[in-house]
């Protein structure tokens, strides 16, 4: 990894889980990590319940746009975190992969999205702790 590691979060629609994870990582790590997110079959917009859930904790992701997973983006990422993108996620030797099994917030209301948001926060906090150099 370079001095500034890059983390790519990938889910199917890039409208829920990966957007929340990217929002948390930007919030918790600031500019010490390059944050990327993408989807194997991106939606047109970010899930409104996801936007609302993140706003509740002071993180605004309303301006984010779902993006298609591109080979070059995955290849140039240090860490790839998958969240149910299946066989569409490319595998590169030497990359660090994590597969986070999380419920999909698609079609769910805010009450169902909050626990997903909170689980993602806990996982991102662990990731940030691993990425920070020890003193």
User: What's the rounded Cα separation, in Å, for the pair 61 and 53?
Assistant: 10
Among 50, 89, 116, 127, the active-site one is 89
Among 8, 10, 11, 54, the active-site one is 11
User: What's the rounded Cα separation, in Å, for the pair 105 and 48?
Assistant: 10
Among 10, 29, 83, 85, the active-site one is 85
| Dihedral sign computed on CA atoms, order 44, 117, 32, 84 | negative
11 tagged catalytic: yes
User: What's the rounded Cα separation, in Å, for the pair 5 and 107?
Assistant: 33
- Point out the residues that are catalytic: 11, 85, 89
């Amino acid at each position: 990894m370079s001095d500034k590691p890059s983390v790519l979060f990938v889910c199917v629609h890039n409208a829920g889980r990966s957007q929340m994870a990217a929002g948390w990582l930007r919030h918790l790590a600031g500019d010490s990590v390059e944050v990327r997110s993408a989807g194997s079959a991106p939606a047109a917009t970010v899930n409104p319940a996801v936007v609302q859930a993140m706003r509740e904790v002071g993180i605004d992701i309303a301006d984010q746009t779902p993006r298609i997973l591109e080979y070059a983006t995955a290849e140039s990422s240090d860490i790839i975190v998958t969240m149910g993108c299946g066989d569409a996620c490319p595998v590169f030797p030497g990359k660090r992969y994590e597969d986070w099994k999380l419920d999909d917030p698609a079609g769910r209301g805010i009450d169902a999205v909050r626990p997903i948001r909170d689980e993602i926060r806990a996982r991102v906090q662990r990731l940030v702790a691993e990425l920070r150099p020890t003193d």
